[in-house]
Amino acid sequence: MTLLITGGASGIGAATARLAAARGHKVAINYRSREAQAKKVVADIVAGGGQAVALPGDVGHEADIEKLFEAAERALGPITHLVNSAGIDGGTMRADEFDEAVLARLFGVNVVGLMLCCRAATRRMSTRHGGKGGVIVNVSSMAGTIGGRPGKSAYAASKAAVDSFTMGFAKEVAMEGIRVISVRPGMTETEMTEQALADPANRAAVSATIAMGRVGRAPEIANAILFALSDEASFISGVTLDCSGGGFVFWNR
């Protein structure tokens, strides 16, 4: 089994890479700028007896995506599983502050790049194209269900697009041996959120909006992703799996 993880150098992607390797996957870890972190994850996997490679590429660029898939297959063999974990948050912007270039980059990575990765995977996995099937997990966000937190409506919109695409895409390839699932984390401790969660008051305020009263941890999301990738989920496709600590609440405790 060969798993390609976009954005696999840190956060949920890195936690998924480590867990997947422990469960027998060969893992291709894509990164854009975190080369040292990606190579550290690879080194840890190899030290534990697994197989892994670190591969550069910006999923916001179509040419990089094609090169990434080709490099992963050269290194580890046919790709059987894909986790689209690469994403950016686009900063904090009200609608009256939107910047066209920022929005284009946000949707270029979070939506268009993800869709093109799914295209590349389909061309390799689909029985229609001579493949043997496979599984794709798109990492979305609970933000897409509520419009995001203040100043994050654009990010939320990009993740809502991922969920909608996942449902439609899964129907297209269901008869071609491919399962597609969207995993929606709630607020989770990663490099993307560490600045927001560093302030104790802000962390407490965010935690109060989660039913379990705390933010998630990357390995918790990785466990859900690995379930979705596994044969235990063989009849699950075209759905969203919420990893949200019970969902949003809006009352004071």
Q: Domains of the chain: which residue ranges? A: 2-243
Give kind and range of the element (H or E) at residue 225: helix 218-229
> Residue 218 pLDDT > 50, yes or no?
yes
* CA-CA-CA-CA torsion sign (217, 2, 85, 131): negative
Nearest Cα neighbor of 120 from 163, 64, 174, 162 is 64
> 23-81, pLDDT tens digit by residue?
999 999 999 999 999 999 999 999 999 999 999 999 999 999 999 999 999 999 999 99
> What is the rounded CA–CA span in Å between residue 20 and residue 2?
10
Average pLDDT, the chain: 94
Correct CATH for 2-243 of 3.10.20.600, 3.40.50.720, 3.30.1360.120, 3.30.200.20: 3.40.50.720
Q: Which residue has the tokens 């007896």?
A: 49
Q: Which pLDDT value is given to residue 253?
A: 43
Q: Which pLDDT value is given to residue 206?
A: 81
Q: Which pLDDT value is given to residue 52?
A: 98
Q: Which pLDDT value is given to residue 38?
A: 97
Confidence of residue 208 (pLDDT cuts 50, 70, 90): confident
Q: Which pLDDT value is given to residue 251?
A: 53
Given 155, 156, 183, 229, which residue is catalytic?
155
How do 26-31 and 52-56 pair as beta strands?
Answer: parallel
What does residue 108 show for φ and ψ, rounded to 5 degrees?
A: -65, -35
Mean pLDDT of 219-234: 97
Model's pTM, two decimal places? Answer: 0.93
Share of the chain above pLDDT 70, in %: 98
| Encoded amino acid at 93, one letter | M
Mean pLDDT of 160-182: 98
Q: Which pair of structure tokens corresponds to residue 121?
A: 């995977």
> What is the phi-psi region of residue 91: left when phi exceeds 0, alpha when psi lies from -120 to 50, beta otherwise?
left
> Residue 242 pLDDT > 50, yes or no?
yes
31 is catalytic: no
For the chain, the straight-line distance linking the first and the last C-alpha, in angstroms and rounded, comes to: 46
Mean pLDDT of 238-249: 92
